[in-house]
Amino acid sequence: MQIYLAVTPEASQEAQNHCRNLAHVAYRIGPGSALLRQSLLLQTKGGLLSVSDQGAPFIDSPEALRDAVLRECGRRSYGGVLLDFEEAPRRDRTAFVSALAPALSASRRALYLPEPYAGAAPSAAVLLCTAVSGGNFSQYLQEAVQRAGGAGQLALDVQRLRMDFRLPARSGEGEPLTGEALAELMEREQPAVFFSQDLCARYFTYSRKGEAHFVLFDDADTLNQKLRLGTAMGFAAAFFMWPEVRDIAPKLFAPWRGGRRP
């Protein structure tokens, strides 16, 4: 399994001390189907081109945008593309994905994309979110593998789980916690922390204003456990967002030096 850190240009040098494989969060879609780029160091080579659709206009020429992406991949020796597409699929987006996928495949480059776009690029690797707050995590991965017809076309989108649930949490939805909020909560409550084998995450409970709370969170050990499960099943890659794991990077990436498990 290849391990990637998604980083902005200003964080790339620090992040590379922990993981060599970077997905460069430096690209977005501009007017006229242009590929816009933030300032990158001249020596930036290798890793992945990560392009966002946030605030992107209509892609009137999917082929022109495809060609711009291919040129940048060649210029920077990128091994593939990570599509950080957050909006629901639209005709222009899916047309771009359908044009890009075979061109990348022909140049032996990988394409990683969100699950809603899987139909537009059958050869691409689909991102599977790891922030699971119910059921069984291992079974969740196994079911995804069965749907995909194998793990080789799947990649883990490793999101650091930090969630506070008011019990009974019938909706299955909790309140997201920042790292600072979780640290303050643990400092105030001094809870006994346990590990959930099913969810592959740590948890604790506390009471406040007559309400019972269940807090579920990831640390370096639980994230590494999720990576080991994905590796054992044959997942192609895993992605982390640098701001989410910066504080635990030394411990998190120690077993995965160079981006691949030794």
Q: Are residues 191 and 92 in the same domain?
A: no
Q: What is the pLDDT of residues 177-192, one digit of tens each?
A: 999 999 999 999 999 9
What is the number of structural domains in the chain? 2
The identity of residue 113, as a single letter, is L
Q: Are residues 130 and 209 in the same domain?
A: no
Q: Are residues 173 and 237 in the same domain?
A: no
Expressed as residue numbers, the domain containing 44 is 2-161+220-259
Q: Are residues 106 and 78 in the same domain?
A: yes
Q: Are residues 238 and 123 in the same domain?
A: yes
Reading the block at residue 218, the tokens are 């990831």
For residue 180, count CB atoms less than 10 angstroms from its CB and return exposed for 0-12, middle for 13-18, buried for 19 or more.
exposed
Query: How far does the chain reach from its first CA to its final CA, in angstroms?
Result: 10
Q: What is the pLDDT of residues 80-90, one digit of tens each?
A: 999 999 989 99
Q: What is the pLDDT of residues 131-169, one digit of tens each?
A: 988 899 999 999 999 999 899 999 999 999 999 998 877
Q: Are residues 175 and 121 in the same domain?
A: no
Q: Are residues 210 and 135 in the same domain?
A: no
What dihedral angle (degrees, nearest 10) is formed by the CA atoms of 131, 138, 217, 158? Answer: -40
